[in-house]
Structures are given as structure tokens and as C-alpha cells.
């Protein structure tokens, strides 16, 4: 029998809030967990699902040994459904959502027990699937609780948002995130560096550690240094980065620009020493470049067909031109 899932240490206020609702019988039938990605919202949703299905839950988690807890929170559990895009797909299929009507119409495995549906990310539903889900939301079966997880709730249909009770999750408290990551990577300074690289999102920091992402980012910084020291042209740097994951490149680019911007506006320390050379650039132009980078990142992550080579070439050519104009003025 698997250990019951517990919410992360930085999610305790949301957990306690829900616990109060459960104890007073006011748990809504549809919840929307919103916040940045890679901070553990899905884990929270699953911990909550296990908790709601458990016959005798404790304060923080399901009991781990009742008949319900015998099942894990996965496809083997008759009272639990998880809906996310199929492998290799970006969108949730309409048949996946339609199957919910059937599921919520059946009796729970346990007498008077609940059934839980987790949908993630909710923005992977298009207008048709979202409308199919609305049918389920409009005719809630007494025992079914829907938990929607969203990294970008502004992309959801207003009709979906308005039928759910929202629960917000922010980037966690730095000390809690650091202590959690330190247990994993075994080093306090490294944990701080990793978290700084990903804007404080613990699961993204752990992923960066697993993927050796710090070294990758440093290699991008080195390529940029070579460009500005005349060892490489913008087109050569673009060529070099072409076989890298474009989202990783744009993550690095936006993170560095954000860092530069915060350095210019609020005297934050720069994460990458080599970016010191850019601190004389006009802050408004840095912000504009950042905005453009974020738009590109969002485009690529939504699967918009963009020419990667052209995007990278333009990005570096424009940055060089901006720096040259600034130096000449």
C-alpha cells in the first residue's frame, strides 16, 4: 500500500482552508486551483482527492490503510478520474470529457462516498471540450467533486471560471522552498541558485537540477559573451542554439531579462555576472525585449507554428542592434 500523498509544506494555508470547508460541510463541488506552473498544484489536487476518498482521514492526509486508501490516486482507483492531454497531444479530447458524465452518473465504490475528477491543465480544454464539461458542472452529481488545475486561468472560459470556487497558489515562501530543495540536492547555496534561476518555483528548480540545467544556462551565457566580445556573430550564436530546446532557451532569455530589469529598477543582484554589460541599456527597452520574449515563449508552449531559426536570429540581431544604438547615443 502506497504512502498517502501530502500537500507540500508551502501549501498549508490552502490545505487548512479546505479542511475547514470540509469539516463544516461547505466543500464546493467544483474547485479551481490556480497559480504558476511547477509549484505543486497537481500534487495538492491529488492529496486532496485521496483525503476526500479516505474513510478516516487524519489532519494532513488520508489514513493510508482504509479500503479507499488501498487504491492509489491513479487509474486503478474506481472513484477517481484524472483527465489531461493524451501523450503527445496539447489538448484534452472531447471524448475524455464526455466520459465524465458516465463516471459521475455511477454510484461511488463506497456507500455515500465521493468521486473525484482532476482535470489538468484546465486550459488544455478548447471551447468544445469546455462546453461539454459545463454540462457536468451544471448538473453536479451530489457525490462528485471536480478539481481543475490551471497555470493560466485567464485562458479559461469565463463560464468555467464562474462555476468553480478558486483557490490561489503563489510562488512559495523562499525559506520553505529552499529547505525542501536542500533535502533533495543536498546543498543550501545550490538550492538558492537553482530557485533564483526559475523564479522561486520549487518543482522547476528540482527539474533544472535533474537536467543539469544550470550548466546549460551557463553555456547560453557564454555564447552571448562570445557574441559581445566579437568571437561570434549573432547568426552563429543562433545556429549554435538551434538544436537546443527552444523553451529552455527562451526561459533563460526571459529570466535574464527579468533579472536585468529588476536590477535596473530595484537594485537586485544580477544572477549572471556576464550580464553586467547590459545594465546601461534603457530600462524601457529591456522591458520591451522581455515582453517580446514572453510572447514568443507563450507562442512556442501553445504549439504555435513559429520558425525557430528566424526567431533566434532576430532575437540576437535585435539585441546587438539595441546595444550598438545605445553605445552610439
Binding residues (CB under 5 A) for Zn ion: these are: 54, 62-63, 66, 69
Q: What is the rounded distance in angstroms from the CA atom of residue 58 to the CA atom of residue 96? A: 33
All three cell numbers of 318, joined, read 535585435
| Least distance in angstroms from the C-beta of 27 to Zn ion | 17
Q: What is the rounded distance in angstroms from the CA atom of residue 60 to the CA atom of residue 3? A: 13
Q: Which is nearer to Zn ion, 63 or 171 (CB)?
A: 63
Q: What is the rounded distance in angstroms from the CA atom of residue 160 to the CA atom of residue 148? A: 10
Q: Which is nearer to Zn ion, 34 or 47 (CB)?
A: 47
| Least distance in angstroms from the C-beta of 62 to Zn ion | 4
Q: Which is nearer to Zn ion, 45 or 54 (CB)?
A: 54
Q: Which is nearer to Zn ion, 66 or 157 (CB)?
A: 66
Angle at 309 between CA 319 and CA 231, to 5 degrees: 50
| Least distance in angstroms from the C-beta of 41 to Zn ion | 23
Q: State the burial class of residue 92 (Cβ atoms within 10 Å of its Cβ: 0-12, 13-18, 19+).
A: buried
Q: Which is nearer to Zn ion, 34 or 73 (CB)?
A: 73
Q: Which is nearer to Zn ion, 66 or 323 (CB)?
A: 66
| Least distance in angstroms from the C-beta of 214 to Zn ion | 40
Q: What is the rounded distance in angstroms from the CA atom of residue 255 to the CA atom of residue 272? A: 10
Q: In b/e form, how buried is each residue of 20-56, taking b as 16+ CB within 10 angstroms?
A: eeeeeeebbbbbbbbbbbbbbbbbbbbbbbbbbbbee
Q: Say whether 265 sits in a helix, a strand or coil.
A: helix
| Least distance in angstroms from the C-beta of 3 to Zn ion | 12
Q: Say whether 218 sits in a helix, a strand or coil.
A: helix
| Least distance in angstroms from the C-beta of 67 to Zn ion | 8
Amino acid at each position: 500500500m502506497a504512502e498517502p500523498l501530502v500537500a507540500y509544506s508551502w501549501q498549508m494555508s490552502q490545505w487548512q482552508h479546505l479542511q475547514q470547508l470540509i469539516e463544516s460541510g461547505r466543500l464546493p463541488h467544483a474547485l479551481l486551483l490556480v497559480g504558476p506552473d511547477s509549484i505543486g498544484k497537481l500534487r495538492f489536487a491529488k492529496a486532496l482527492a485521496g483525503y476526500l476518498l479516505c474513510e478516516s482521514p487524519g489532519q494532513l492526509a488520508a489514513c493510508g490503510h482504509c479500503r479507499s486508501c488501498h487504491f492509489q490516486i491513479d487509474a486503478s482507483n474506481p472513484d477517481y478520474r484524472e483527465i489531461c492531454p493524451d501523450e503527445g497531444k496539447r489538448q484534452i479530447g472531447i471524448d475524455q470529457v464526455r466520459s465524465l458524465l458516465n463516471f459521475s452518473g455511477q454510484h461511488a465504490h463506497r456507500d455515500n462516498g465521493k468521486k473525484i475528477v482532476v482535470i489538468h491543465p484546465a486550459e488544455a480544454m478548447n471551447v468544445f471540450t469546455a462546453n461539454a464539461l459545463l454540462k457536468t458542472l451544471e448538473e453536479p452529481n451530489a457525490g462528485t467533486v471536480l478539481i481543475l488545475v490551471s497555470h493560466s486561468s485567464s485562458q479559461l472560459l469565463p463560464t468555467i471560471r464562474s462555476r468553480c470556487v478558486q483557490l490561489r497558489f503563489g510562488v512559495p515562501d523562499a525559506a520553505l522552498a529552499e529547505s525542501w530543495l536542500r533535502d533533495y540536492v543536498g546543498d543550501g547555496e545550490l538550492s538558492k541558485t537553482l530557485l533564483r534561476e526559475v523564479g522561486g518555483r520549487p518543482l522547476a528548480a528540482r527539474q533544472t537540477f535533474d537536467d543539469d540545467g544550470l550548466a546549460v544556462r551557463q553555456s547560453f551565457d557564454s555564447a552571448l559573451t562570445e557574441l559581445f566580445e566579437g568571437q561570434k556573430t549573432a547568426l552563429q550564436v543562433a545556429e549554435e542554439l538551434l538544436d537546443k530546446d527552444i523553451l529552455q532557451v527562451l526561459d533563460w532569455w526571459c529570466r535574464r531579462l527579468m533579472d536585468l530589469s529588476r536590477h535596473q529598477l530595484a537594485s537586485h543582484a544580477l544572477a549572471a555576472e556576464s550580464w553586467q554589460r547590459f545594465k546601461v541599456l534603457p530600462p524601457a527597452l529591456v522591458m520591451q525585449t522581455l515582453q517580446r520574449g514572453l510572447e514568443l515563449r507563450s507562442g512556442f508552449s501553445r504549439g504555435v507554428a513559429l520558425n525557430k531559426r528566424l526567431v533566434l536570429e532576430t532575437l540576437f540581431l535585435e539585441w546587438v542592434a539595441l546595444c550598438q544604438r545605445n553605445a552610439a547615443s
